[in-house]
Amino acid sequence: MDILLLLYAIPLFCLFILILKKIDSKQDKECYILDYQCHKPTDDRKLDTKFSGEVILRNKQLGLPEYKFLLKAIVSSGIGEQTYAPRIMFSGREADPTLEDGISEMDEFFNDSIAELLERSGVKAQEIDILVVNVSMLASTPSLSARIINRYKLREDVKVFNLTGMGCSASLISIDIVRNIFKTYKNKFALVVTSESLSPNWYSGNDRSMILANCLFRSGGCAMLLTNKRELKHRAMFRLKCLVRTHHGSRDESYQCCIQREDEQGKPGFHLGKTLPKSATRAFIDNLKEIAPKILPIRELLRFALVLLLKKILRRGSTKGAPSPRAVINFRSGVDHFCIHTGGKAVIDGIGTNLELSEYDLEPSRMTLHRFGNTSASSLWYVLGYMEAKKRLRKGDRIFMISFGAGFKCNSCLWEVVRDLGDANVWKDCIDNYPPESLANPFTEKYGWIHGEDPDTFVVPESIEF
C-alpha cells in the first residue's frame, strides 16, 4: 500500500515542482520601468511667437497663400510659446544644415538626460546589458548608439539596437524589443533612448503638405531604464502588462500618407497627405480590436457584444434610416489613465471622441502639446510625466499608451503603476501653471492682419511691429 501511494505521490510531486518553476520563471520575464528622464532643452532654444514669425519670413519660397495656411495651422495646433527648437534655427541656417548640426543636437540630449537618469537611479553605465536607440530621421556612422556607448563607456558585450525610420511610434517598438529580450535573459538592465533630430529635416520649400511638419514638430527626448530583476520590482515605477503593434504598410494609401520625400523643386521634407486621418483611424481601430480583449474586464466585453447584437437585430427589423444604438466599448472600465501621442490637437480630439473620453482624460496630452509640442516618439513620456507631476498615479492604476507613426503604424500598451508616484520631473518649473485658463496662442493677435491682405498687392513687410 505504501509503495502504491509513493508511486502516486512521485508524479504529483514532479508536477508540483514543474508548476513552481513555471511560475518562478515567469517572474523573471516581467518588464519594469525603474525610472525615466525627459529632456528639457535650455531656455535659449525656446520658440516663441515673435521668433516663429521671423523664421517663416526667412523662407523666400512662401507667398501670401502659404502664410495664411501656416497661420491657420499653427493657431489650431494647440501648441504654445514654451516649446523648443534646435540651435540651427537660432543661427538662421535651417535651410543649410550639416551632419554635425544633427549630431550635436542629439549629443546635447544624450549628455543631459542619460547622465541624470543613471545618477538618480544609482545604476552604473557598465551595468547596462541592453541599449535600444530610436531616432527616426538621422542615421550617422558610427551609429548614435555607438556614440552613447563611447560617451558612457558601456561594456563590450552590451546588446545594441539602433532604430531609424520608425516615426512617432518608435518608443513602444523599442519597449517591445526589450520585452522580448527579457523573456530569454534574466536579471538584465536595458536603456531605451528615444528622440528625433530636427536640425537636418527642416523643409524650406512651399509644398503645403510638407511645410505643415515645420509647424508641429519640436525638440525633445526621453531616456528610460528598464529591468526584469525581481529584487528591484518594488523600486520600479511601472510594470508592462501587454503591448500590441499594428502595421498597415501593405496598404499603399497607408504607406504613402506619411512619408519623407522631395518636392517638385528637389527640396527634401516630410509629406503629410490628406489620407493621413483615414489611415490613422483604420490602424487605430485594428489595434483596439486586438488589445481590448487583453486589457478590459469580461463584463465590458460581454456588454459590448450584446450591444452589437442588439444593433444588428434592430437594423434588420427597422425601416431604412431609423437610428440604432451606437456600439462604443468603454475603455475606462479597464483603464485609469490615457497617455495619447501628441500628434496634434486633431489627433487628441479624434481619440477622445472615439473612446468617449472626458476632458480630464485628455488633459495630460493637451497640456503636453501646449508646453512641449509634438516631440515625436518621446511625446508619450512627457504626457506620462504630466500625470506624475499632477500626482494622479497611484499604486495599481492602469495606464493605456497610444502612439502612431509612419508606415502606417499604431502601437499601444498597458502599464500598471507599481507604487504611488509624484515626482514633478521635467514639469517641475511649470506644473503649477497648468492647465492654463486658455490654450489660445497669440499668433492670431500678432499675425491676423494677413487674412485681410490682397494677394495681388501683398508685399512682405521689411519690419513687423510685434
Mean pLDDT of each 10-residue bin along the chain, 466 residues long: 60 57 61 97 90 83 82 83 92 91 95 96 96 94 95 96 92 96 96 95 89 89 97 96 96 92 90 90 94 93 84 69 67 95 91 93 96 95 97 97 93 97 93 88 74 69 53
Catalytic, 247? Answer yes
Eight-state DSSP code of residue 343:
S
Strand partners, 402: 340, 412
Q: For residue 39, indicate whether it is catalytic.
A: no
* Residues counted in the chain: 466
Q: Is 168 designated active site? A: yes
Cβ neighbours for 54, distance < 8 A, ≥ 6 positions apart? none
pTM of the model: 0.90
Burial of residue 3 (CB within 10 Å: 0-12, 13-18, 19+) is exposed
Which entry of 341, 410, 413, 441 is annotated as an active-site residue?
A: 341
Of 31, 38, 168, 410, the catalytic one is 168
pLDDT of residue 348: 93
Active-site residue identified among 201, 214, 287, 374: 374
Q: Is 271 a catalytic site residue? A: no
Cβ neighbours for 349, distance < 8 A, ≥ 6 positions apart: none
Q: Could you tell me whether strands 238-247 and 130-135 are parallel, antiparallel, or unpaired per DSSP bridges? A: unpaired
Instruction: Please give the pLDDT value at position 466.
Output: 40
Amino acid identity at 27: Q
Per annotation, catalytic residue among 337, 410, 425, 441: 337
Q: Which residues of 313-333 are buried (b: 16+ CB within 10 A; e: fewer)?
A: eeeeeeeeeeeeeeeebebbe
The catalytic residue among 59, 162, 247, 287 is: 247
Distance CA 284, CA 198 (A): 26
How many helices and strands (H and E) does the chain possess? Answer: 16, 11
Compute the distance between CA of residue 382 and CA of residue 195 in angstroms, rounded to an integer.
12
pLDDT value, residue 229: 96
* pLDDT at site 387: 97
C-alpha cell at position 19: 508548476
Q: List the catalytic residue out of 39, 248, 271, 370.
A: 370
The per-residue pLDDT for 382 is 97
- pLDDT of amino acid 325: 56
β-partners of residue 412 are: 244, 402
- In terms of C-beta density within 10 A (0-12 exposed, 13-18 middle, 19 or more buried), how is residue 32 classed? buried
3-state SS assignment for residue 53? helix
* HSE of 350, CA atoms in CB hemisphere, 13 A: 18
